[in-house]
Amino acid sequence: MDIILMNESNTSQNISAALCQALEDWGIPVQDSAIPLYCVTDNGANFISAATRSFTPVQCFAHTLQNAITEVKKKTAGVATLLTMAEHYS
């Protein structure tokens, strides 16, 4: 786990370099690793591309679900009301 301040642009190349450096700092070799390395990402193209450079990307289920709910709320009448009712009973 790490928090990295990125002063440069959030390009996939810069994100990938920051991720690899964080793992190296923890003593986890990225290059020629004998173990598979996975990286959980949001659905941003830059993060997926960054993870693909050195890892196997896994999209965050919660983030994907939230994006789906947001789209359904926009496109389907009545869903927002149902979700509000469900929040009341949870």
Q: What percent of the chain has pLDDT over 90?
A: 34
pLDDT at position 32 over 80: no
Q: Where are the extended beta strands (E) located within the chain? A: 38-41, 56-59
CA angle 17, 32, 51 (to 5 degrees): 35
- Radius of gyration of the chain, Cα coordinates, nearest whole angstrom: 18
Kindly report whether the global pTM for this prediction surpasses the value 0.95: no
Residue-level pLDDT at 48: 92
